[in-house]
Amino acid sequence: MGTSGMSPEELKALRDRKKKIKQAVKKRQRDEAEDEEAGGPTGDSMKDRKAARKFKKETEAAAAKEEEGEEGEEGEEEVEEEEEAPPQHIQVQVDGILSDKNFDSLELSKPTMAGIAEMGHSVMTEVQARTIPPLLAGRDVLGAARTGSGKTLAFLIPCVELLYHGKFMSRNGTGVMVLTPTRELALQIYGVAQQLMQKHSQTHGLIIGGANRRTEAERLLRGVNLLVATPGRLLDHMQNTKGFTFSSLKVFVMDEADRMLDIGFEEEMRTIVKMVPKDRQTMLFSATQTTKVEDLARLSLKSPTYIGVDDARAVSTATGVEQGYCVVPSEKRFLLLFTFLKKNLKKKVMVFFSSCNSVKYHAELLNYIDIPVSDIHGKQKQQRRTTTFFEFCKADRGILLCTDVAARGLDIPAVDWIIQFDPPDDPKEYIHRVGRTARGADGRGRALLFLIPEELPFLKYLKAAKVPLNEYEFPQKKIANVQSQLEKLVEKNYYLHQSARDAYRAYILAYNSHTLKDVYNVHELDLGAVALSFGFHRPPKVQLNLDSKAANGRKKIGGGGGSRGPGT
């Protein structure tokens, strides 16, 4: 439907609806939702508000009906009530992460020790105890440690000590470079560096894509001793910012190197390695040791010390994480997610999706029906992503929808649930997603993986990767049956309809891009069932470019009759 044939009143109504959905994306307190909605659009958009209220009323009725059920069937409720008592094996996890060594034993400078103390640390984690001494001795290090292990301090402390003992000043330029794959991770590492260096006189700075380049250049000209950066923007400044001094560079750190290579920064990283001084100390941290990582290590490291804290672990994820999966038909996926989130509004929850468009649609939909959520994905402007990330970090409760842009390295405290709504590509990605919960020495949390029946073979890959999962069962009568209300809402709201259509298409394309084709076969997807989960009674027409001859019948799908098979 185009807008060229609409009357001014209809155009105004559409603008009002769009405005409401944009406003809904902003985080709201649940008990203020009614008040805020009272100031929303008027006129024809009232139809959408009525649809949303009807949806809300229907789901509240379903929830009330559940409360009247037998206590023995309240699986989710029992989980919530028991959460206050920590599991019996938490102490084992403490022993596994913390070492028996204090920071005092390292003989660090007084300013560094003051920073560590103000951050509340006294005992080193295992990765810190094994990594910091060789780094202080000037050795190159190739490190492999899971997220949440204290890795950031493990490489920052030796860096700060080198700057301190080298008596670095602004005019000396950059002495330490820390390279990281994403803006969010760069922001977080920089925040830790600020805390650690608060008693030091050395300067620190951050350069990332999406920030003001001129402001960054001016800061670099003044001299930044410890620099945290993303690869693309760093290379830009190294090649084009006159006066950016890095000839005195002493330490070069690459954090989450495998992730940087995965997302296409291989050429930039190789160029940067060739541009920095050869007489330097290098630290390379990677959660996995791939062929590309090994090639980069050979190019950048000299006789490195290998630190592999997790090599002897019986399981690959934190022992404080209670992990499970549920098998749910495609058409019931959103209904189960909706039911779950309704029951966990007082918890801190992260939900992972496979595409930016899917995050965008589900955020708009859930906010519109009064389940307040925040969202982070790669199509947002950097300022919004940063604000959303830190708001969620500070919050005691809330729901964050995200793509894997938020999955690697970010330290978000006290996440109660990690929901993998769209399954990960491989066990490595699963582990990094789950790394958002049960972080640190006393962490605990829960993780839930959604699988459709055809995806069950993924479990054998998780088992091979030493990931223990239990099956969670959700009784059908416990799942809110609001499918008809969902379809009406998507049908009547023009912008939600367009957003749902884009998300539906993105889901199929993301599914097609999976590498484990024996698990994720796009040609076996029941597209009618998938469409239902996005609020469509039948598949919408979308243009697809799939990757095999078998895709010929699927390049333009949907919009026909009620057929819901693979050839739709």
Q: pLDDT by residue (tens digit) across 328-353?
A: 999 999 999 999 999 999 999 999 99
Decide if 75 is inside a domain: no
Question: Of 308, 327, 343, which residue sits at a domain end?
Answer: 308
Q: Hey, what are 36's tokens?
A: 């805020």
Decide if 566 is inside a domain: no
Task: Say what the pTM is.
Answer: 0.59
CB-based contact 216:237 (threshold 8 Å): yes
CATH of the domain at 224: 3.40.50.300
Per-residue pLDDT, 208: 93
Per-residue pLDDT, 423: 87
Decide if 136 is inside a domain: yes
CB-based contact 163:225 (threshold 8 Å): yes
Decide if 185 is inside a domain: yes
Residues 356 and 477 in one domain: yes
Per-residue pLDDT, 184: 85
Residues of the chain with pLDDT under 70: 1-97, 145-148, 309-321, 405-411, 435-444, 547-568
- Element counts in the chain: helices (H) and strands (E): 22, 18
Residues 379 and 287 in one domain: no
Q: Hey, what are 244's tokens?
A: 């950016």
Residues 301 and 175 in one domain: yes
Cβ contacts of 66 within 8 Å, gap of 6 or more = 74, 478
Residues 138 and 230 in one domain: yes
Structural domain total, the chain: 2
CB-based contact 217:141 (threshold 8 Å): no
Cβ contacts of 507 within 8 Å, gap of 6 or more = 354, 355, 358, 422, 530, 534
Give me the sign of the Cα torsion angle 222, 226, 230, 232. Answer: positive
CB-based contact 253:283 (threshold 8 Å): yes
CB atoms within 10 A of CB 38: 8
Question: Of 250, 285, 308, which residue sits at a domain end?
Answer: 308
Question: Of 286, 308, 330, which residue sits at a domain end?
Answer: 308
Kind and range of the H or E element at 256? none
Q: Give the CA distances from residue 510 to residues 290, 355, 356, 423, 430, in Å, rounded to whole numbers and listed in that order.
A: 23, 7, 10, 11, 16
Residues 138 and 200 in one domain: yes
Residues 183 and 139 in one domain: yes
- For 159-172, write each residue's pLDDT tens digit: 999 999 999 999 99
Decide if 117 is inside a domain: yes
Question: In the 8-state DSSP scheme, what is residue 376?
Answer: E
Residues 271 and 328 in one domain: no
Decide if 29 is inside a domain: no
CB atoms within 10 A of CB 337: 21
Decide if 62 is inside a domain: no
Residues 418 and 474 in one domain: yes
Residues 280 and 203 in one domain: yes
- For 60-99, write each residue's pLDDT tens digit: 555 555 444 433 333 333 333 333 332 222 222 223 367 7
Domain extent for 429: 315-557
Residues 333 and 433 in one domain: yes
Decide if 16 is inside a domain: no
Assign 3-state DSSP to the chain and report helix, strand, coil percentages, each to 5.
50, 15, 40
Residues 260 and 329 in one domain: no
The residue type at 473: E
- Residue in 86, 98, 159 with CA at minimum distance from that of residue 123: 98
Residues 174 and 298 in one domain: yes
Q: Classify 262 as helix, strand or coil.
A: helix
